[in-house]
Amino acid sequence: MVNIDWRLRRLGQTAFTAWAVITLSFVIVRMMPGNPMGAMIQQLERRGMDPVRARQLVELRLSIDPTKPIPAAYVDYMVNMVQGNLGQSVYYQESVVDIIAQSLPWTLFVLSWATFISFFIGISVGALMAYWEGGKLDVGLTSWAILMGSIPFYVLAIMLLIFMSYRWGFFPTGGKRPTGIEPGLTWPFISGVIHHAALPILSMIVASGVASLGMRGNAIRVLGEDYLRVARLRGLSDVTISTQYVARNAILPMYTTLLIGIGEMFGGSIVLEQVFQYRGVGWYMLSATYQRDYPLMMGGFVVITLAVVIALLIADLTYGYLDPRARGQESESY
Amino acid sequence: MTVSETDYERTVAHSDPILQMRDTTVSFDMERGESRVLDNVDMDIERNEVLGVVGESGSGKSMFASALLDAVVDPGYLRGDITYNPGDGESVDVLEMSKRERKQYRWEEVSMVFQGAMSSFNPVRDIETHFVETLEAHDYDVREGMQRAKQILSDLYLDAERVLDSYPHELSGGMKQRALIALSLVLEPEVLVMDEPTAALDLLMQRSIISLLENLKERYDLTIVFITHDLPLVADIADRVGVLYAFEFVELGPTEEILEDAAHPYTRMLLKSTPNLESSIENMRPVEGSAPDPVNVPEGCSFHPRCPLADEECIDVDPGPYDAGEGRFVHCHHWEHSAEEIPMEDASETAGLADEGVESRSTKPTPDHEGEEPVLSMQDVEVHFEKDTGFMDFFGDPPAVKAVDGIDLDIYENDVVVLVGESGCGKTTLGKTAVGLQRPTGGSVEYRGDDIWKVRDGDGDGSVSWGHIRRSLQIVHQDPGSALNPHRRNSKILEAPLKRWHDELDGNDRRQRVMSMLEHVGMTPPEDYYERYPHQLSGGEQQRVALIRAMLMNPEVILADEPVSALDVSLRVEMMDLLIELQEMFDTSYLFISHDLANARYIAERTGGRIGVLYLGELVEIGPPEQVINNPQHPYTQALRWATPELDPAEERAEESPIREIDVPDPTNPPSGCRYHTRCPEAREVCTEQTPESYSADTDAPSHRGTCFRMVDDHEYWHSESIVDESKDSFDSAADTGTAPSDD
Ligand code: SF4
Ligand code: SF4
């Protein structure tokens, strides 16, 4: 019962955030001084379009009727949003939803592999570092992780691009799929896709040295715990101890970090996709900014923010399965 | 140590040791040199005995425990001989076992309970998993093993099913500790080593666990090694007691002998320094000096810098074990003279020990405060904490913890009130409410007639300011380390209050004042301590700095929250003496919080104060210490009295427990009527329905009051049905629930 209350509350918070994000996008479009809507109308009028026609077009594109008073326009906008109508891109002349639906999987593809691999490496390396605390590996990796953590990831990405692609030609310099190959579940296509995604993934992984540092700190803390000592005395096997006692407790504090990390990577992907000319959501969003393609920009903004909010919600809701202490805090007994 | 094996074996030839330790040393290599944390120890542990091992922190007692299981943590190095004699089958050399043998030896033959029950369980796995994985790791039959686990759990008065289903954080400390004991017994070991198993628990829980241990020992045929810093505690169950000092045993013998006629000066001094309920306050005396550093243990007898009997021989020759008869061994050259030099009774005319503290260590009668104006007056104070709930939880009333529920208490000038009770009884909350750190949700707290929260809110009549009240009511925390700003030197910490409240003093005056205070509390030379940071001080020294800081504010009431519980036993009396001395010097009142009745008695008797007993947010008894201790009116006070270990071996050990339930009820849902009725051995029908008021005790002390129907001669209680189920084979199986009032 308590659990339900708690989950409902998180859900409520998430819904609230989502609403706030969408409202914010409305506010930006509609009410900011020098607002995008005004700018769009002017743009069209400058191209010689009749003002009434221009306004209709803007309404279609932005899902906001410029002639309506703000409250009514707001209600319309929200209804459109909830129905999944994010307006129409000015530049591509396509619906924003379609563009995002096409590009989002590519971004997710890069992100999920980057996250998965970097955490896998981070956790195993972190555990090893903790185990050989103070050893050469530990010292070396710690400095590496600190170094990597302090270089902005896009600098790293550019360096990778310069060397791996332009100089040595290991990887393509841009794009997300092989050219001239029919899309489909064929090996040439799939390997081409992986080939194109490799550099973006790699630069994200390299930049995430921090993960292993975090794991190391946690694992060291766990290694000092009494329950570990008792478990050894009880004669539990090394496998049980390292998985159920060390790793599980060391991962706990990282779990939320992991999902917050996804959020950060989403943000990072905007720049990263630009560097690698990788046409995911981030790329579209940034180029929409250059094109003054407000509908697409806002759509990208809303979708990315929502994705992060949802990732956090999932983190919160599932954390209880990993850590019983977080299960319905209220029921903590005497 | 110059013990030869033959000495030992001659005297214990008739014995049947299950574990034998010879020349066992544990050392750590440190930059400063080799640190020996167990130094050439010999010890025989007899089959089916309870061996009590007593030592202060830093005496090597935990190392002794780890050595028995060959479980010394890296980089500690264990050497010597440890032999295990299973009884049937061959003796085993514990330090030469193969990996497989060692796995079997640990937990199947010898298992261990640590002090940290709070953290001995993996927080992400439920209790049952801990049992199952242990059984599986040792290839035991899991079904049969779990059957046994349930039996042991219920032997320990736990609801087996519920406990097994719980996660560690869902159990109280006492429950976790008992679950841990059950876990250590699930493989049916021969020997159970317990390292401070009860240190973190309340007295009542400690004592309950100890009386349960006796049953367990019989039922499961155990040999128990019980390691503790608390001599009176083991006195209750141990057959023999070994006393550790500076990483070696200084005395070993049957419990009775040790308690009545200890031969080693350290043991005698330790006994005298231990607050308890029986021996007279005049005789209590701290052990001066401090325990040696393991890198730098004094030559010869390691106790000589602190020993009043020390002479040349002690400095030159390490005293081997002298056989003092009756199975007693003493590592002291002059053991035959220790009794006359360090008498347990009356020390005033003894040469060598007469220190300046003797005359001040006297008791005071509790004055009758009738008609006096209280400094602080609490009326019907309530503090209810709502459990933290979010904005979606507006359905239904959130459960409130009634931490303090309707308490009246007055504190007068130069008054001392010591609050005692189990953890969770609300004593700290009440204390904080008294000094204005916690806002009560009901009732009033008045400082010299002004409601302090009205003053705070600006509704006062303007006669006193909130700042003045804040300054007059000070607190000294339990953990002084966390209460002092780690980034500021003592000079800054201590001068700040002077700067703030005594602006007539210039920098030099302040310095002088702080220096003299440091000197006064024994932190000499003060120049040396003046510039230190808190982390460069020992726990006792930090406590002193915190105390001086509070005193320099010139407060009228100081709340001291468990000020001595973090200190070693031998230092407690000294710290309490200091507290009492400062009280007289600065003319303040104290509100003490303690979970230990013996400490409460010491302070209250020496200052003429009162002891207040709290149970589930209510003040169930209050009065002068002699009355509360020797003539307790409330059954709960009687239980606390029972739970306080005695040094007197003649006292019948392990009398039946006077409580029906070991665990404290859920404070969010306290029992109806008298809140104690679920545990009270005297409870009757009426106790579940009516709430007792505060009645005056039928003694000569007018300030002695309690809240139990039994204090009223013609109460309907006496005609009510008993609710104690006598047939139930419960914790109090022998509790007498006679139907007639005892004083009829
Ligand atoms: S040997 Fe000497 S210094 Fe050591 S305890 Fe005995 S009398 Fe004291
Ligand atoms: S009122 Fe009843 S239940 Fe309460 S303490 Fe007295 S006898 Fe026990």
Under the banding of pLDDT at 50, 70 and 90, the label for residue A134 is: low
Share of residues in chain A with pLDDT > 90 (%): 0
Residue at a domain's end among B341, B364, B395: B341
Number of domains chain B is built from? 3
Torsion of CA B710, B713, B716, B719, to 10 degrees: 80
Beta carbons of B291 and B306 less than 8 angstroms apart: no
Residues B258, B213, single domain; the answer is: no
Domain identity same for B68 and B137: yes
- Taking the Cβ of residue B391 and every Cβ of chain A, the question of whether any pair is shorter than 8 Å is answered with yes
Q: Are B611 and B563 in contact (CB under 8 A)?
A: no
Question: Is pLDDT above 70 for A331?
Answer: no
pLDDT at A214: 59
Which atom of ligand 1 has the smallest separation from the CA of B301?
Answer: 4
Residue ranges of chain B with pLDDT lower than 50? Answer: 1-13, 347-360, 389-396, 653-654, 729-730, 732-744
The per-residue pLDDT for A185 is 67
Q: Which tops the pLDDT comparison, B252 or A330?
A: B252
Tens-digit pLDDT profile for residues B60-116: 888 899 999 998 877 788 999 999 998 787 888 999 989 889 999 999 999 999 876
CATH class entry, domain A99-326: mainly alpha
Q: String of b and e for B403-416 (b: at least 16 CB within 10 Å)?
A: bbbbbebbbbebbb
Please report whether residue B131 resides in a domain: yes
What is the predicted pLDDT for the residue at A81? Answer: 79
Chain B: nearest CA to A241, how far in angstroms?
10
Most A CBs within 10 Å: which of B68, B120, B136, as the mutation test of the A interface? B120
The answer to whether the CB atoms of B390 and A244 lie below 8 A apart is no
Question: pLDDT digit string (tens) for A226-235?
Answer: 888 888 889 8
In a domain, B94, yes or no: yes
The pLDDT value given to residue A253? 72
Dist CA A56 CA A66 (whole Å) = 8
Q: Which of 9-68 (A) contact B at CB < 8 A?
A: 9, 12
Angle between helices B142-155 and B173-185 (to 10 degrees): 140
CA atoms of B604 and B628, how far apart (whole Å): 11
Query: What pLDDT does residue A45 have?
Result: 74
Condensed to tens digits (0 to 9), the pLDDT of residues A144-199 reads: 767 766 677 677 778 777 777 777 777 777 677 666 666 666 777 777 777 777 77
Region at B651 (left for phi over 0; alpha for psi -120 to 50; beta for the rest): beta
Set of chain A residues whose Cβ sits within 8 Å of the Cβ of B167:
324-325
Q: Considering only CB atoms, which chain B residues are within 8 Å of A227? A: 119-123
pLDDT of residue B278: 75
C-alpha to C-alpha distance for A211 and A254, rounded to whole angstroms? 8
Q: Domain check: are B175 and B114 in the same one?
A: yes
In this structure, the answer to whether residues B78 and B207 fall within a common structural domain is yes
Distance B742 CA to ligand 1 centre (A): 51
- Residue A226 near chain B (CB below 8 Å): yes
Q: Which residues does a 6 A CB cutoff place in the pocket of ligand 2?
A: B 634-635, 674, 676-677, 680, 682-683, 687, 692, 708-710
Q: Percentage of chain A surpassing pLDDT 70?
A: 70
Residues of B in contact with A248 (CB under 8 A): 124
pLDDT value at position A97?
Answer: 83
Domain shared by B206 and B307, yes or no: no
The pLDDT, as a whole number, for residue B7 is: 44
Place of tokens 């590496």: A144
Evaluate whether residue B401 is within a structural domain: no
> How far from the centroid of its chain's Cα atoms is residue B634's Cα?
22
pLDDT in tens, B156-176: 889 999 999 999 888 888 888
Chain pair A-B, CB pairs under 8 angstroms: 94
B730: which DSSP letter? -
- Model confidence at A209, pLDDT cuts 50, 70, 90, reads low
Say whether B388 and A329 touch across the interface (CB within 8 A).
Answer: yes
Contact B119 A235 (CB under 8 A): no
Q: A-chain residues within 8 Å CB-CB of B106?
A: 233-235
- Domain boundaries along the sequence of chain A: 2-82, 99-326
CATH number of domain containing B100: 3.40.50.300
| Residue range(s) defining the domain that contains residue B141 | 5-43+60-191+202-221
Residues in A closer than 8 angstroms to B387, CB to CB, are 330
Q: Is B111 on the interface with A (CB under 8 A)?
A: yes
- Between these two residues, A6 and A111, which has the higher pLDDT value? A111
Q: For residue B380, which amino acid is it?
A: D
Using the Cβ of A243 and the Cβ atoms of chain B, whether some distance falls under 8 Å is answered with no
ipTM over 0.90 threshold = no
CB contact under 8 A, B123 and A324: yes
- Please tell me if residue A318 touches chain B, with a CB cutoff of 8 Å: no
Backbone torsion region of residue A290, taken as left when φ is above 0, otherwise alpha when ψ lies between -120 and 50, otherwise beta:
alpha
The pLDDT value recorded for residue B668 is 78
- Whether residue B167 and residue A235 make contact (CB cut-off 8 A), yes or no, is no
Compute the distance from residue B281 Cα to the ligand 1 centre, in Å.
26
> Is residue B688 situated within a structural domain?
yes
Q: Tell me which chain A residues have a C-beta less than 8 angstroms from the C-beta of B63.
A: none
B178 with B103, same domain: the answer is yes
What pLDDT shows up at residue A6?
66
Asked if B280 is an interface residue toward chain A (Cβ–Cβ < 8 A), one would say: no
- The Cα B171–Cα A101 span in angstroms is 50
Ligand 1 centroid to Cα of residue B294, in Å, is 19
Quick one: average pLDDT of A82-97?
Answer: 78
Q: Are residues B311 and B180 in the same domain?
A: no
Question: Mean pLDDT over all residues of chain B?
Answer: 83
Asked whether residue B603 is domain-assigned, the answer is no
The two beta strands, B92-93 and B77-84, are antiparallel
Cα dihedral sign, A62-A67-A70-A71: negative
List the Cα angle A263/A264/A268 in 5-degree steps. 120
**In this structure, are B151 and B206 located in the same domain?**
yes
Taking the alpha carbons at both ends of chain A, their separation in whole angstroms is: 18
